[in-house]
A and B are shown apart, each in its own frame.
Chain A
Amino acid sequence: MTRFSVRPAVALLVGAVFFVPLYLVLANVFKRGELIAKEPASLPLPPTLANIHAVLTRPDGLFWVSLTNSIVVTVLSILVLTVLSAMLGHYLARSGKRWTKVLTLVLLAGLMIPPQVILIPITDVLRVTHLMATLQGLILFNVGYYVPFGVFVFTGFIRGVPVELEEAALLDGASRMQVFWRVVFPLLRPATASVLIFLGVWIWNDFIDPLIILGPSQGTTITTGIYRSIGQYQADLGSVFALMFLATLPVLIFYLALQKQFVKGLTGGATKG
C-alpha cells in the first residue's frame, strides 16, 4: 500500500532537483540585472520584461541578425536534406545492386564521424569555392554532414511501401519522379516528420560548425550569438539570460507542439529493434 503513495513523492522530488537549472534561467529572465547576481534563486517578483526588451532593441541588432541567420540556415538545410535524403533513400531501398550495400555502409559510417575530423579540411574546401564565411557554405556542409541520418530514416520507411504501388503508377505512364513525389512521398509522412524535427533541432542548436564556418566576425547564428555576448557583456547577465530564453523559445514551442511525433521519432528505433 505504501508504494502507491511513495512513488509520486519520490518522482516529484527527483524531478524538482533535476529542474533547478531550468528554473534558474526562467526566474532570471524576468528579474532585474542587479538582483540576478545578488539572489539568483529568488522568485522574479515583481517580474520585469526589461531584459527581453533590452535584447530585442539592442543597437547592434545582434538578436535579430542572429535569428534571421539561424532561421535561413535551419529552414534551407532541412528542406534540402529532406528532398535529397528521401530520394537517396528511395534509390537505396529500391535498387538491388550489390554496390548499394557498400554505399549504405559508407553512409552508415557517416553517423559516427566527429565533425572535428572534417572541419579543418572543410575550411580549405570552402575557401577554394568562395563559400567560406557564407550561409550557403554552412548550409551545404549541414546537408553533407546530416544526409546519412536522413537516408537511414527514409530507407527504412520506403522498404515498407509496396513496390507494386510504384509499378502500377509507372505502367499508367507517370515518370519515376512523379511516382515518387505524388505516390510514395505522401506515405512517408512519419519519416519526414522525424527528419524535420531532429535535424531542425540539431541544426538550430549547432555551435561548432557555425562558429568555424561563419568565422570569427562574419555573422552569427543564435548559438554563436549567445556565446559571443557572454564574452563581451559579462556584466549584463540579464541580457544573456533573456537571449538564451528567446533563442530556446522557438525550439521549445516546436517541441511542445509536436511532442507526440517527437517521442515517437526518437524511440522508433528503440521499440522496433
Chain B
Amino acid sequence: MGEGGLTSLTAVAAPPAPPSTVVRRRRRRRPVLPRLAHFASFGAPGVLVYLCFVMAPILISFGYSLTNYNPFHPPVKFVGFDNYRLLFTDSQFLTALQVTTILTLIVVIVPNVLGLGVALLLDRKGWLYNALRSVFFTPVILSSVVVSIVWSRLLDDRGPLNSLLRDLGVSHPPGWLSDPDVALYSVASIVCWQMLGFCVVVYLAGLQGVPPELLEAAEIDGAGPLRRFRAVTWPLLAPSLTINTVVLLISAFKTYDYVKVITNGGPGSGATATIAFDVLQTGFDSNHVGYASAMAVLMLVIVALVTTVVLNFLRRREVDL
C-alpha cells in the first residue's frame, strides 16, 4: 500500500519549545562555523536529494504545465494558463475528478466505520483475537498489485463470486468489473478491504489508551454501553480518527495501482479512471506532457487544500475535549 506516510505526524507535531534562555545560552556558546558545518555534514545530503528528486520536479512540472510540451511534437510553446483553463471544460478530466471524489469519499468513510466496529469486536485478550488481528492486518502489507490481481479473479464475470450467485439462483449476476455503473464501487470496495486492517490496528491502539477507571466510573453513574461509548470511548479515540482519516484521504487521492491493474481505467469511457491514473495516461501514453502536468499540479493543490482543511478540523476536535 505504501501510503501510511502520515502515521508519525501526530507524534512529531508539537515539540515543546525550549525556554528562550536556554536557546540564547546555547547560541552564545556555539560559534557560526560549527553550525554551518553541522548543516553541511548532517542536513545537506538529505535536503539535497529531497530538493533534486521532489522539489525541483514539482517546479519543473509547474513549468511544463504552462507550455504545450510534447516530446514528439516540438517546438515547445509557452501557453500561459491555457492548459488549466482547458481542464475545466474537458469532460474526461471532469469525469476523473468525479471518479476520484466518489472513490475518496467511500475509502475515507467505509474503512473508518468498519475498522472501528472490528476494533471494538477484537478489543479483548486471547489467542483468537490476536490471530484475527493478524488476519485483518495481512492485506495492509500486501502489494496493491497482488491485491488487485486476486480481486479481479474473484470478481470476474465468470469468476467464483458470480458462479456462487448463479448457484444461488441469480440468473444475471452483476458484471462487477465490466459494468460501468458498478465497476467504480467494486474498485472502491477492494481499496477498502486492503485499508481496513490499518484502521483496525490504529483504533485498537486507541482503545488501549482508554483508562478503564473512566469506563467503570461511567458505569457506576448508570451509563449504559452505548452511552459509555459515546461519552467516554469515542472522544478519546479522536487522535486515531485523525490518523486514519488523513492516511485514507491521501492514499485515496493517489489511487493508481488498482485502477491500472484491475480495469485499466475502464470499462467504457473512464468509469474508474482517477485523476492519478489520467495524469500518467495523458503524460506517458498520449505524450501530452504539458497538459498532464497542469492536471498533476491541480491535483497537488486539491490534495494539499483538502488535507489541510480536514486535518485542521479534526485537530480542533481533539483540542476541544
Pick the contact of A125: B9, B43, B60, B147 (CB < 8 A). Answer: B60
Interface residues on A, range: 35 or more
Q: Compute the total of residue contacts between A and B using a CB distance below 8 Å.
A: 300
- Given A112-B250, A271-B208 in contact, is the A141-B53 Cβ separation under 8 Å? yes
| Contact across chains for A24 and B8 when beta carbons are under 8 A apart | no
Return the contact of B243 from the options A24, A91, A114, A269 (Cβ within 8 A).
A269
A73 on interface, CB distance cutoff 8 Å? no
- Of B38, B137, B209, the contact of A91 (CB 8 Å cutoff): B38
B106-161 interface (Cβ within 8 A of A): 118, 121-122, 124, 128-129, 132, 134-139, 141-147, 149-151, 153-154, 159-160
Q: Tell me the interface secondary structure of chain B in the complex.
A: helix
A11's contact among B35, B128, B202, B299, by CB below 8 Å, is which? B128
Query: Is A226 touching B8 in the complex (CB atoms < 8 A)?
Result: no
Q: Which residue of B lies closest to A143 (CB)?
A: B49
Residues of B within 8 A of A107 (CB): 50
Cross-chain contact B243 with A88 (CB below 8 angstroms): no
Whether the pair A22, B4 counts as a contact (CB closer than 8 A) is: no
Complex CA gap A96/B35 in Å reads 10
B177 at the interface (CB under 8 A from A): no
Determine the chain B residues whose CB is within 8 A of the CB of A267 once the complex forms.
Answer: 7, 201-202, 204-205
Residues in A neighbouring B209, C-beta threshold 8 A: 271
Residue of A nearest to B279 (CB): A116
Provide the residues of chain B in CB contact with A58, threshold 8 Å: none
Give the Cβ gap from B74 to chain A, nearest Cβ, in Å. 14
Q: Is the CB of A114 within 8 A of B303?
A: yes
Selected A-B contacts with CB under 8 Å, 19 pairs: A11-B129, A15-B135, A91-B43, A103-B47, A111-B9, A116-B256, A117-B58, A120-B279, A120-B293, A121-B293, A122-B53, A140-B49, A176-B41, A194-B8, A201-B141, A205-B145, A207-B260, A266-B7, A270-B7
Chain A residues packing against B (C-beta within 8 Å): 7-8, 10-12, 14-15, 18-22, 24-25, 40-41, 84-85, 87-88, 90-97, 103, 106-107, 109-122, 124-125, 140-141, 143-145, 147-149, 151-153, 155-156, 159, 176-177, 180, 194, 198, 201-208, 212, 222-223, 226-227, 230, 237, 240, 244, 247-248, 251-252, 255, 259, 263, 265-273
